[in-house]
Chain A
Amino acid sequence: MLVEIIIKIVIILAVLTFVLSFGGFLTWVERKQSAVMQDRIGANRASILGLRLFGLFHIVSDGIKMFTKEEFIPRTDHSKLFLIAPFIAWFFALMAFTVIPFSNTFQIAGYELSLQIANPEIGILFAFAMMGMAIYGVVLGGWASNNNYALLGAMRAAAQTISYEVALAAAAVGPLLVYQTLNMQEMVQWQGRLWDGWLPLWGIVVQPMAFLLFITAGAAETKRVPFDLPEGESEIIGFNLEYSSMRFGAFMFTDFIEKILVSCLAVAVFLGGWQVPLLTPEGFVLRGETLLTLTPLVVWLVQAAAFFLKVCVVVYVLMLVRWTLPRFRYDQLMNFGWKIMLPLAFANIIVTGLVMIVLKG
């Protein structure tokens, strides 16, 4: 029992470290990727002893800047709420990582190890619930700011998140019908199947429409451009208007964490999770012929690396979208969510259901 608790604590710390450091790294990636896309160089001035390392030290310098800046707390009746609101958003964003299956299970000395904190039967619903809860941080922050503009920003965030939450969940129902499970690990295992012995039956193959809807709704859910009306840093001012110092940093960092979360969910549900095409526990196998024999540990490591690589690709695509598209107008946003996304998601559910009935006979 004690050993299991220690193992769980180690896994929790590993996942937490991975998410937080990857989130910090993404602040640099976002600046650099946008710079290269726009024929610029990007942040490259922060240096330690003349060593610049492509501006990687900007992560550190930004952190120091955030922590040492003056903190402004508006005069309000809800100053306690104001103080904890960023960390509510942060907490729920991190909580959702509990069910993400970062790797396959691995048997060692009678213990089942897997880079997944918990594997409940309702896995994906838990993730959706936590994503939905994250809006509380934003709304409370906007409300407690005692500022009309912050409140309006928070209301925009609430309306948008709730609208797209519906489309997000409806988009995920298609794959759920196909996999017949809510358990994240079982979903990934289902996606290890091959069609005709070579084509991996990932979620994107069996549910391409749902994947598109999921990524779009996910971007809207996490308030990314082109759906960044709640924040609108450049002209309309958003819910974090009154925040400064590290509390603002917490809100900003939550955005990056949620971006990783959406990428992880998209990878786990649609891009085969830790599955590598043709990779079985014995090695690479094509139509019964073994192409390359690998030990179970190597297979496990390759699968974990594959998950990370897929997350990186999805994050790249999300950032590409963020630096390509202009922002939606508010009515366009609502029209798009309720009149296009949701009907398409429902149509996808109906078609998937019909096909499932026909296939099952």
Chain B
Amino acid sequence: MGNITVKKIDTERPMTFLERIYIWEILRGLWITNRHFVVNMFFHVLNLFGIRTRRKGAVTIQYPEKHRGWHRRLRTSHYLTKREDGSPRCVGCMMCETVCPANCIYIVAREHPDPNVEKQAFKFTIDMGKCVYCGFCVEVCPEDAIRMDSGNLDISSYTREDMVYHIERLLDRDHDPADYKDHEKWMKEVP
């Protein structure tokens, strides 16, 4: 039996004298934080007096007013598309309700007045509190009736009932940001 030689790597660097007496390292740390304060304050003051600088005093994006922008492929809250006459495109085929892993879609279908179309959705309810944003409903829809690119992610409410979106809410696009597709604009407005 031969011996196994293990190469031992000592990653611990011995501390230098200045590091060991501690106070010098504290002063270096204070210098860094103080530099951040002074430089940021300088730009804050310039911006306060209306001087536009490329560099800002803070990296904060003031969220509700300003927006970082989202990637084109991000799945945001659902909406239902409409036909030219304004009626929902959904034909009530129950594909999305069936595929939904969270069981958060509830559809009630009815007869469509147009004899060429078999059915239409009478009720179409999504419980946003249950939705897992998998996007299967969009993938499976044969009519391109449901989409998940509204650009709206500010989904919050005080009650569980308000988290349930009914068909009127899903057809109504007024809730969504108007320029939700204008990706370039959002990205440019980063302060």
Contacts and interface: CB of A to CB of B under 8 A. Distances in A.
B37 A37 contact: yes
B37 A33 contact: yes
B58 A321 contact: no
A105 interface: no
A41 B60 contact: yes
Which of A33, A41, A321, A325 gathers most chain B CB within 10 Å? A41
A240 to B, nearest CB: 27
Interface string A282-323: 000000000000000000000000000000000000001101
Interface in A10-64: 33, 35-41
B155 to A, nearest CB: 22
Given A36-B44, A40-B60, 14 more contacts: A36-B58, A37-B36, A39-B36, A40-B59, A41-B58, A320-B30, A321-B26, A321-B30, A323-B33, A324-B26, A324-B29, A324-B33, A325-B26, A325-B29
Interface of B: 23, 26, 29-30, 32-34, 36-37, 40-41, 44, 57-60, 62
Nearest to B25: A325
5 contacts: A36-B36, A37-B36, A38-B36, A212-B23, A324-B33
Which of B36, B37, B62 gathers most chain A CB within 10 Å? B37
Contact of A324 (B30, B44, B57): B30
A344 B58 CA distance: 41
Contacts of B23: 212
Given A41-B58, A41-B62, A36 B37 contact: yes
B34 A320 contact: yes
A39 B26 contact: no
A39 B62 CA distance: 13
Given A325-B26, A325-B29, A320 B60 contact: no
Contacts, number: 43
Contacts of A40: 58-60
A43 to B, nearest CB: 12
**5 cross-chain pairs, A with B, having the tightest CB-CB distances, nearest first:** A41-B60, A324-B33, A41-B58, A37-B37, A36-B40
A320 B37 contact: yes
Nearest to A39: B59
Nearest to A36: B40
B41 A36 contact: yes
A124 B143 CA distance: 84
A299 to B, nearest CB: 31
Contacts of B37: 33, 36-37, 320
Nearest to A33: B37
B57 A37 contact: no
B33 A35 contact: no
Nearest to B58: A41
Interface string A195-217: 00000000000000000100000
A36 B33 contact: no
B58 A320 contact: no
B15 to A, nearest CB: 15
B34 A35 contact: no
B58 A39 contact: yes
Contacts of B40: 36-37, 39
Contacts of A41: 57-58, 60, 62
A325 B22 CA distance: 12
Interface in A233-254: none
A234 to B, nearest CB: 18
A40 B44 CA distance: 11
A324 B34 CA distance: 9
A320 B33 contact: yes
Contacts of A325: 26, 29
Contacts of A33: 37
A358 B33 CA distance: 42
Interface in A313-347: 320-321, 323-325
Nearest to A340: B22
A321 B26 CA distance: 9
Contacts of A321: 26, 30
Contacts of A39: 36, 40, 57-60
A33 B23 CA distance: 23
